[in-house]
Structure 1
């Protein structure tokens, strides 16, 4: 009887941690879903609402039943695949059909509030408030809410671009020194955080009524002023109360703006669908299409040159150090792996100093006066040379492993047939080695095709021709896209997304062709 009860006892004991684990997992999932879904709905992030909702439902379905056993192991990987790969691709593709960029990020209601808020003028007798900037999201990205303390009666108010001025119950906030220091559900920004996000916070205005709004004066003070731009919701127009000019919605390019009779438009617009206008601009605008083709050509040269040079150097070194007659092979292999052990960004920054025309190590040691980073041709050579330094240890490791895995009887047969060492290397070793390493060469090509760090950290895409800011002499496609999206002339995420989609298609086509070519090598076996 004792022997039959022991397994049941152990089963009950082992099931307790399992049940507790499920309760904690499901409780945490439910809490996160309840917390994050309302915030995403408020931000109108419908894709992420769907992802969180389906993930929460999937977790409850999978981990509350004894069915779908394989799904319990597949789900975590699938979830992270969707979040970090599929969703960004979908968002990029969706944004490529919009005008998303600086001044066109929010809704029309937000644009109207921003236009009115930016027109608020301070008068000598304008009321002032103790200001605390807060957010329920990321302190660096917002959205931002103003907590305002009236210095006369110490009443607390809150508001934002989306929320008009609203009284706050005393129990929901803590007031010290005439400012809100704590607010339930919000993070109060510190001075460094306010300075970092100053541009976005300056755009925030809190509507008081149709003619007045509150804006930030200093980091801890706000003022209530009169708006010179008044919006008529029925007519969908803005009127400048100072000049009398009326602004109506008109199409400028592929985006709607508020424009007056003289053709002057207000700077703020809103997120709109533009169809295939971004793709038409990419392929029909002669200047942009030309820059794209030039960047694409250099990208191919850079990726192919990097793969070829690193492979040849790595293969040669692996071949030499694989010879048993070579002494101290372990020491030499350890030395050759040192560039691979140094973080890439440190190596690139170090090499950028080597290329200094006046004080760089290369010019001083070789007694040269080459403008490495100022001349387009020499800058390309510098990029390839730096990438060779960082990439050959990887190819050395790969080739060393492949050489040691080759069957020795094949080489012996070649020697018996009278083949020289060079002939054995080129006609026997090389084809067999390519069968093993060709997929890695394809992967290395794809990596260098989008090797943003090697360009941005070394040359920042330069040198730039006079008057050209879209593409520099060493810009590959990915660094050109980065400049379009985050350039000094203003971000254009919609167009950058269209270029990214084109780059994604190009990379896929090239990779498919490469894999088709490498499949031919399998006939060697």
Structure 2
């Protein structure tokens, strides 16, 4: 219409989208609050801080500043990761990485470093500790000195405080406190004693319980209260006496001298021992680095080298043989029970699986007694009195028979599953083409089985290569040769390493660590 104006709808303007809120502490990615998540995060980080403080206390007490710095750095990094809104992948990767380092990488590094030392019985601590142990072991009670009733305590925390001796003289009822600075009187006020005179409580001192004494046994053993005539040392946990060492250390000659015989043992820093003129060393020494000596010992010492090479060969034979015989028997039984014409297959399969359902440790112990020479079931059934673990060959056969009994049923299970997954059309087509059953199995079924079971066979070999229980619980490594009783005829590397480190003849951790490096 003339003169009229057309009204247009007002333009609508849309506000720009609000920027997404950055997730913060206790907030989700959409900016919404999560009180439960916040509480769980606070609790988890509180536990982490508590564990860090608990781990820091012994590091401070032993002045392990490197370890303390690592602990602080890891703790701070964990707090940064879980308080930061950005480090999402690290929140999931960090726990697994820490556990990998603590339980895998650090033990490997420690084992390798130990292999380059003489760490063993008599060579555990440093030189100062060795001197203190030698002098302490030679302390004899001074004639006419007072036997004290002893109470072991600390001046402060039970786990980290300085050791003190609370002493009671049974003849005079006098009370004393002995510290590293000397002996002084203890006032009776605030002191409680039992009917035998033993101090059970004292002001400003923490009386140690039996478990606390055991935890600080090394500190107590090396502790003494200096006196004018010698030192007061503990005799057990309830008695103490004043004595003087018969063997003393002289820093001028770096030697130990026996006051009664005049024998002198000079420090040999290369081997970590005090040695006399004839080359005889004192039992107590200290830990030093020996380079590749432990590795060379395994390869150059004629007695050890022969046993070591035999153990290595048997280790491979045991692992390969176990996999071969269990796979072979498991394959035969699986093929037999996979026959569609066979009835009651479920019953047969259940009976075969029964040994696998039993605890392996219990089965090893049962089989060991079945091979017993005098009353073992096997000898009684055969009507013989044969010592199965008396020679190496029969002991190896016995171990492999046990492994066959315990392992073939597992192979039977997995092979049965693999056989049922192979299409029957393949073998039927081969039969139509005129292939004999064995040829069809060898060219079609068996290769397909190996494709499916190859990872299992490799894993089984790796497991049996370090199968400690099979050797230790059945034969114990027997028989043992007189020229090297630490190496048994059926030992594998892991049982040989265990015997070197924890055997009754003395622990040689450095050499055991070197052997474990070979086995890994």
Same fold (TM over 0.5): yes
Matched, 1:56 2:75: yes
Whether contact under 8 Å (2:138, 2:247) holds in the other structure is: yes
Judging changes above 3 Å, is the alpha-carbon distance between structure 1 residues 326 and 189 closer, same or farther for their aligned structure 2 residues? farther
Assess, with a 3 A threshold, how the Cα gap between structure 1 residues 355 and 47 changes in structure 2: closer, same or farther. Answer: farther
> Are residues 1:188 and 2:209 paired?
yes
Against the structure 1 CA distance between its residues 469 and 38, is the aligned structure 2 distance closer, same or farther, given a 3 Å change threshold? same
Where does structure 2 lack aligned partners over 5 or more consecutive residues?
A: 1-22
- Residue of structure 2 in register with 1:412 after alignment: 428
Partner of 1:522: none
Alpha-carbon spacing, 1:264–1:180, altered in 2? closer, same or farther (3 Å): farther
Query: Structure 1 residue 283 and structure 2 residue 283: aligned?
Result: no
**Aligned runs of 1:334-353 on 2, under 5 Å?**
334-353=350-369
Q: Is the 8 A contact 1:148 1:180 kept in 2?
A: no
Trace 1:125-274 onto structure 2 (pairs within 5 A): 125-132=145-152, 148-151=165-168, 152-156=173-177, 177=194, 178-180=198-200, 188-189=209-210, 204-209=221-226, 212-250=230-268, 255-274=271-290
Evaluate the alpha carbon distance shift between residue 201 and residue 319 of structure 1 in structure 2; reply closer, same or farther with a 3 A threshold. same
Deviations 1:168-192 (A, max 9, x none): 999xx9966324589999972259x
The answer to whether the 8 Å contact 2:500/2:507 transfers is: yes
Q: Are 1:28 and 2:44 matched, yes or no?
A: no
Determine which of 314, 322, 327 is the counterpart of 1:298: 314
1:518 match = none
- Deviation at 1:87? 0.9
| SS at structure 2 position matched to 1:258 | strand
Structure 1 unaligned regions, length at least 5 = 1-7, 505-525
Matched, 1:74 2:93: yes
| Correspondence for 1:521 | none
Greater CA deviation, 395-404 or 122-131? Answer: 122-131
Structure possessing the higher radius of gyration over alpha carbons: 2
Query: Aligned in 2, Cα 1:374/1:165: closer, same or farther, shift over 3 Å?
Result: farther
Asked whether the equivalents of residues 452 and 478 of structure 1 are also in contact (C-alpha less than 8 Å), the reply is yes
Return the TM-score normalized by structure 1: 0.82
Q: Given that residues 303 and 445 in structure 1 are in contact (C-alpha distance below 8 angstroms), is that contact kept between their aligned partners in structure 2?
A: yes
Displacement of 1:385: 0.4
Q: What's the counterpart of residue 489 of structure 2?
A: 473
- Please say if 1:496 is aligned against 2:512: yes
Name whichever of 303-312 and 12-21 sits farther off. 12-21
CA contact (8 A) 1:206 1:213 kept: no
> Is 1:132–1:180's contact at 8 Å kept on the other side of the alignment?
no
Q: Give the superposed CA RMSD.
A: 3.6
Residue 384 of structure 2 is matched in structure 1 by: 368
Alignment deviations for residues 440-491 of structure 1 (CA, whole Å, 9 cap, x no partner)? 1111111111111111111111111334312111111211111222222211
Query: Distance between the aligned counterparts of 2:370 and 2:454, measured in 1?
Result: 33
**Cα distance in structure 2, aligned partners of 1:416 and 1:166:** 101
Cα 1:425–1:262 change in 2 (3 A) is closer
Q: Is the 8 A contact 2:472 2:495 kept in 1?
A: yes
Q: Per-residue CA shift, 1:137-192, capped at 9, x if unaligned?
A: 9x9xx99986532114545556xxxx77799999xx9966324589999972259x
* SS in structure 2 of the partner of residue 102 of structure 1: coil
- Alpha-carbon separation, structure 2, partners of 1:169 and 1:418: 103
Displacement, 1:38? Answer: 3.2
Q: Is the 8 A contact 2:136 2:222 kept in 1?
A: yes
SS in 1 for 2:476: coil
Give distance in 1, aligned partners of 2:67 and 2:356. Answer: 38
Offset at residue 430 of structure 1 (A): 0.9
The CA deviation string for residues 189-232 of structure 1, in whole angstroms up to 9 with x for no partner, is: 259x96xx99x769913132386344442343333321222223
Find the aligned partners of 2:184 and 2:54 in 1 and give their Cα distance: 24
Structure 2 equivalent of residue 18 of structure 1: 37
How many equivalent pairs are there? 482
* Aligned 8 A contact 2:152 2:207 in 1: no
Aligned to 1:402: 418
Relative to its length, the structure with more helix (as a share) is 1
